[in-house]
Amino acid sequence: MSNPSQTKESTVPKKKKKKRSINWRQILIVGGLLIALFSMVAPDISRLFSSAGSNRTTYTSASSSNSTSNPAPVKNAEPMPEPKFQKEGELYFQKAGGGKAFSKIEIEKADTEVDRQFGLMFRKSMPEDQGMLFLFEASEQQSFWMRNTYIPLDIMFVDENGVITTIHENAKPQNDTSLPSNGPAKYVVEVNGGYAKKYGIEVGDKISWQ
pLDDT at 48: 39
Chain segment 115-131, per-residue pLDDT in tens:
999 999 999 999 999 99
Rounded distance, CA 134 to CA 109, Å? 6
Query: In the chain, what's the furthest Cα-to-Cα distance?
Result: 136
pLDDT (mean) for 32-51:
49
pLDDT at 77: 55
Q: What is the pTM of this model?
A: 0.65
pLDDT exceeds 80 at position 59: no
DSSP states of the chain: ---TT--PPP-PPPPPPPPPPP-HHHHHHHHHHHHHHHHHHHHHHHHHHHGGGS-SS-EEEHHHHHHSPPPPPPSSPPPPPPPPP---EEEEEE-TT--S-SEEEEEEEE-SHHHHHHTTTT-----TTEEEEEEEEEEE-EEE--TT--S-EEEEEE-TTSBEEEEEEEEPTT----EE-SS-EEEEEEEETTHHHHHT--TT-EEEE-
pLDDT exceeds 80 at position 102: yes
